[in-house]
Amino acid sequence: MGRAPRGFLCAAWLLWGAAAWGQPAPAPTAEPTPAEVVVRGERGFSVASDTEARQRDLELRPRSRPGDVFEVAPGLLVVQHAGGGKANQYFLRGFDADHGTDLALSLDGVPFNNVSHGHGQGYADPNFIIPELVERVEVHEGPYHAEDGDFATAGAVNLRYLQRVPASSLTLQGGMYGQGRLLGIARTEQGTLRGYLAAELSHNDGPFVIPLDYNRTNVVGRWTWAPSDRAELTLTAMAYNGAWRASGQVPSRLTDDPSSGFSRFDAVDPSEGGQSERRALSLEGRRALGPGASVEALLYAVQYRFSLFSNFTFFAEDPERGDMIEQTDARTTVGLRGAWRAQHQAGAWRFRTSAGVQARADDIDNALYTAPGRARDETRARATVRQSALGVFAEEQVLPTRWLRLIAGVRADLFNFAVEDTRAERAMDDRSGVRSAGIVSPKATVVLAPSRALELYANFGSGFHSNDARGVVLRGTPVTPLARGLGYELGLRARVRDRLDLAISAWGLDLQSELVWVGDAGETDPRGPTRRVGVTAETRWAITRWLRADVDLSVVRARYTEAPAGQDAIALAPTLMVSAGIAGRHPSGVFGSLRLRAVGDRPADPAWRQVAQGFAVFSAQAGYRRGWWEVAVQAENLLDTPWREAQFGFASRLRSECTTPGAPRCDAPADGQRFGTVTDVHFTPGVPFTASLRLTLFLS
């Protein structure tokens, strides 16, 4: 089981006692509800690729880390970048959304994309999520929904936690490579107050030569007061702590050379790693105002701390001590969301109106240091950032007949950026400043339903992502504050005999600019406008009442529109992705699933000179539920396939490389460098075959 967090056994005892205070567990039903992905059609979907996955579908999917819950979205795959508690990378619609840019992520409406983050714009770390608490996953693909704002260009995913749990429970899990996990959920209900308290402790060393030593602690408390069936108020409090070591990114030239003796799970710099903390409090209320009308409001506050030690280029800049950097981020975020919804009818015409406001303010201190061996040296960047955003939206759905639905929406957003460069040694004030920017985003949809089993969609939408405030206020060469994206889509949804759900969409997305702030360098990386066109297909098949299968396919062509032919590929944009699986829960109590995740080869540079290798990996789980207990075994990478998760193409230098002029593969030294470098694909190795055992007790 590897080393466990301090106090593991004590915490287990406390959680067992807390869980025992809950209410009696309900008796198991003879025929469990099958896994379901709801196709709502007229009831809510306005894009062919929209999806809503329920808890039962999530339970039957193998989950090795919190980010895996997002993969119920068609064409969305999640991979790890450098191991441990660092934020994931999200592959969707031709985006390798490095840590979250261009994909808006939220939990119960509270966004967790971090603006102007010390490591990268939109950094979205999902490690504070407890997968067992996720009730459903709401997926919007493309910029077609008026409620979705910043980062929602490729799409938006909102997780919904359970309002209540049916029983208290205790889960123990352990497996290969030092995996250990303890989860306790205590049901707390009294009169009109219902809720639960959940706590998670986990440890993982991974297959790496330098163990990850990743310790994660999560606590969630959630209580809902419902004085009547017309109103409810929900308070949610959560806390997360994570600390890890990392193997970093491995240069392909080392693992491709058998004589190097370098394992794919080894590390060039063994001192990489990081830590992260998150505390959040939210209050959400809903109230029915009358027939077909309701109002909802959400207030939230988040406190966040982050520190990361990385070494991407090894010995390119500092041949003796190495190129390790430290990135830090400390912030407080507060925000609100409010919406009013109403339905009314005029003759045969039906109308659905929604309007709302969203506001957010971030108070940020972040920095970038050179830190060989984790010892801080030069301060490359340090700033105080005050960033705020205000958005309003309105959307009208008109249903003149049963077979036609028209949707028109618009949102307007205003951003304020204020940056103060706080480096004591700065000579100029060109990195400090104040700037404001606004954007209006129209949306339009037409839905035709020639029958109850078929719906045809045509969509247009304008969306955007904000850029890092430090680049926005930069004097001389500022970046675009808000980069507009224009999306367009044709699609269909079909249901065949209530057993087979099909959805296919052909779409395009034009992005005005991919200018981003590169936290690893403390500077802006200029990139031009892009166009992505693709096809996304989704299939859900109810084979029997208890057995289901699904297949998702995404094919994308991603290009820079102003680059010359042959030099216009968007580096690392996924061109082919496949996700497929079969899952079931038999009335006898037996359950299981088998899944495939696959990504095709993709360019590591605009000219395809280097290739980020594709992969195909299988995972599975099998288990049995009887009465008050459940046991399951889970396996990742069933075929023990060598594969690469996150991949990047850039220049680096090992200590012994490029010491003489004209050495093979060595590029000329860049400004300020003594030696040349080697351009190569660097990768985070995917896990080998890994098995774990999970036992869950449902307590009275």
Which residues, other chains included, contact 425 with Cβ-Cβ below 8 Å and sequence gap of 6+?
A: 379
Phi, psi of 515 (to 5 degrees): -65, 125
Q: Is the pLDDT of residue 77 over 70?
A: yes
97 pLDDT higher than 80: no
pLDDT greater than 50 at residue 20: no
Give start and end residues of each alpha helix (H) in 44-175: 55-59
Would you give the end-to-end CA distance of the chain in angstroms? 29
Q: Which residue has the higher pLDDT, 6 or 145?
A: 145
Per-residue confidence (pLDDT) for residue 34, from 0 to 100: 33
Calculate mean pLDDT across residues 42-47. Answer: 58
pLDDT tens per residue, range 461-499: 999 999 999 989 988 778 889 999 999 999 999 999 889
Instruction: Give residue-wise pLDDT tens across range 272-286.
Output: 999 999 999 999 999
Between 663 and 459, residue with greater pLDDT? 459
- Chain-centroid distance of CA 692 in Å reads 24
Single out the residue of 581, 467, 454, 476 nearest to residue 513, CA to CA: 467
Cα dihedral across residues 399, 405, 406, 412: positive or negative: positive
Q: Look up tokens 């999200």; give the residue.
A: 90
Q: Is the pLDDT of residue 654 over 90?
A: yes
Q: Which residues contact 521 (CB under 8 A, 6 or more apart)?
A: none
Q: If you count DSSP H runs as helices and E runs as strands, how many of each does the chain have, helices first?
A: 4, 39
317 conformational bin, left if phi > 0, alpha if psi -120 to 50, beta if neither: alpha
> Rounded CA gap, 90 and 71, in Å?
9
**Measured distance CA(260)–CA(252) in Å, rounded:** 11
pLDDT in tens, 47-58: 777 888 777 778
Residue 6: is its pLDDT beyond 70? Answer: no
* 106/567 Cα distance (integer angstroms): 36
The full DSSP string for 402-439 is: TTEEEEEEEEEEEEEEEEEE--TT----TT-EEEEEEE
Share of residues in the chain with pLDDT > 90 (%): 76
Match 């023990």 to its residue by tokens: 640
Look up the pTM and report it. Answer: 0.91
Q: Tell me the C-alpha distance between 184 and 201, whole Å.
A: 9
* Other CB atoms within 10 Å distance of the CB of residue 285: 16
Q: Mean per-residue pLDDT for 14-36?
A: 37
Question: Has residue 74 got a pLDDT over 90?
Answer: no
CATH of the domain spanning 8-699: 2.40.170.20
Count Cα neighbours of 497 within 13 Å in the Cβ-side half-sphere.
5
Tens digit of each residue's pLDDT (9 = 90 or more) over 588-645: 999 999 999 999 999 999 999 999 999 999 999 999 999 999 999 999 999 999 999 9
Q: Which pLDDT band, with edges at 50, 70 and 90, does 24 fall under?
A: very low
**120-165: pLDDT as tens digits:** 899 999 999 999 999 999 999 999 999 999 999 999 999 999 999 9
* 524 — pLDDT class (breaks 50, 70, 90): low
Q: What pLDDT score was predicted for residue 520?
A: 59
Q: How confident is the model at residue 320 (pLDDT cuts 50, 70, 90)?
A: very high
pLDDT digits (tens, 9 = 90+) for 179-206: 999 999 999 998 899 999 999 999 999 9
Maximal C-alpha separation, the chain: 84
> DSSP string spanning 445-466?
EEEEEEETTEEEEEEEEEEEEE
pLDDT at 28: 39
- Which pLDDT does position 622 carry in this prediction? 97
Torsion sign, CA atoms 315, 318, 322, 328: negative
How many residues make up the chain in this entry? 700
pLDDT tens column, 215-266: 999 999 999 999 998 999 999 999 999 999 998 889 999 999 999 899 999 9
More confident residue, 504 or 27: 504
Spell out a b/e string for 205-224, using b for 16 or more CB atoms within 10 Å of the CB, else e.
bbbbebbbbbbbbbbbbbbb
The tokens for 662 are 């004209």
Query: In a 10 Å sphere around its CB, with 0-12 CB exposed, 13-18 middle and 19+ buried, how is residue 75 labelled?
Result: buried
Strands (E), 82-230: 89-92, 95-97, 103-107, 110-111, 134-141, 155-161, 168-175, 179-190, 193-204, 214-228
Strands 155-161 and 103-107 turn out to be: parallel
- pLDDT band of 426, cuts 50, 70, 90: low
Q: What is the pLDDT of residue 29?
A: 37
Average predicted confidence (pLDDT) for the chain: 89
Q: Residue 468 has what pLDDT? A: 92
What percent of the residues of the chain are helix, what percent strand, and what percent coil, each to the nearest 5?
5, 55, 35
∠ at Cα 625 (620, 631), nearest 5°?
A: 55
Element (H, E) at 339: strand 325-346
Residue 10's pLDDT is what? Answer: 38
Q: Sketch the domain layout of the chain as residue ranges.
A: 8-699
